[in-house]
């Protein structure tokens, strides 16, 4: 049975989609277990949401690449809040824009370890708690890059294809149990994603120049909608893009008049 005040565990909750999901779920009465590497941000967010919505919130500094760190965060959250019902395995990143034969080890390992290993470790640690609660929902945060690869994003796309495979496998493995599984696969969403990838504010801004991209709040609304459907309804996979992005990559994007010329914009993105 769906609990009156479910507990949602969110990784990568200090910014972007994770933070937006925390805000929206708190507004809908969910108790929160918020994890990220930036502990001070989490504490401020938890204090704000607890005061505004009266929900209980647990925070933990966690590195999803480290099994012990993940296990400690998940078990501590379950002990503090009494249960875990919803898991939003959101922690992930893109690092650089490299052809496959050019990618440095540090960028390759950052993406594969965080985007794939980190998700497996999060779900592996949280699933026993979700099962024992008797009702739950597991969310993967994929990408349109998990449906179509692009130049310079081979390793990132591989990691998101991996997320799609994990979501499909878990859906099969949990069939017959009261735990839903959903992969939310956004296209161009303006969060800290591009800044983390390029480490350059000009390049990050240029990526979204002239379009009206998704926001973290838009993706969070997709999570909320899936959660609020009747329990017998499972959205296996949701691809969500802004209206200006018709293709899974940037091959068909409507760019309205903007301040940077096309050549400068493309140079900034692809440099």
DSSP state of 54: -
Q: Give all strands (DSSP E) within 6-107, no chain letters.
A: 7-11, 31-36, 57-61, 86-89
CA distance 188 to 176: 35
Cβ atoms within 10 A of the Cβ of 256, count?
Answer: 9
156 is catalytic: yes
Please name which of 197, 186, 187 lies closest in space to residue 253, comparing C-alpha atoms: 187
- The vertex-8 CA angle with 2 and 10, nearest 5°, equals 155
* Catalytic residue from among 30, 150, 156, 258: 156
CA distance 223 to 171: 17
CA distance 56 to 61: 17
Q: Which residues are catalytic?
A: 156
């Amino acid at each position: 049975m769906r609990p009156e005040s479910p507990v949602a565990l969110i990784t990568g909750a200090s910014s972007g989609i994770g933070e937006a999901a925390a805000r929206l779920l708190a507004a809908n009465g969910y108790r929160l277990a918020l994890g990220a590497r930036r502990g001070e941000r989490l504490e401020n967010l938890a204090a704000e949401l607890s005061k505004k919505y009266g929900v209980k919130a647990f925070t933990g500094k966690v590195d999803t690449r480290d099994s012990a760190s993940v296990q400690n965060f998940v078990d501590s959250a379950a002990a503090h809040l009494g249960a875990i019902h919803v898991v939003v395995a959101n922690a992930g990143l893109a690092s650089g824009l490299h052809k496959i034969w050019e990618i440095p080890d540090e960028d390759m390992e950052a993406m594969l370890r965080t985007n794939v290993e980190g998700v497996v470790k999060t779900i592996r640690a949280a699933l026993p708690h979700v099962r024992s609660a008797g009702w739950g929902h597991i969310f993967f945060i994929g990408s349109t890059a998990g449906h179509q690869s692009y130049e310079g994003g081979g390793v990132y796309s591989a990691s998101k294809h991996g997320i799609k495979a994990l979501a499909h496998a878990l859906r099969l493995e949990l069939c017959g149990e009261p735990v839903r599984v959903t992969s939310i696969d956004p296209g161009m969403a303006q969060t800290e994603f591009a800044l983390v990838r390029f480490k350059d504010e000009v390049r990050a801004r240029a990526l979204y120049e002239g379009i009206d991209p998704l926001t973290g709040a838009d993706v969070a609304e997709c999570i909320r909608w899936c959660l609020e459907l009747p329990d017998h309804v499972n959205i296996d996979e949701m691809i969500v893009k802004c209206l200006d992005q018709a293709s899974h990559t940037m091959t068909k994007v409507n760019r309205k008049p903007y301040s940077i010329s096309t050549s400068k914009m493309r140079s900034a993105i692809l440099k």
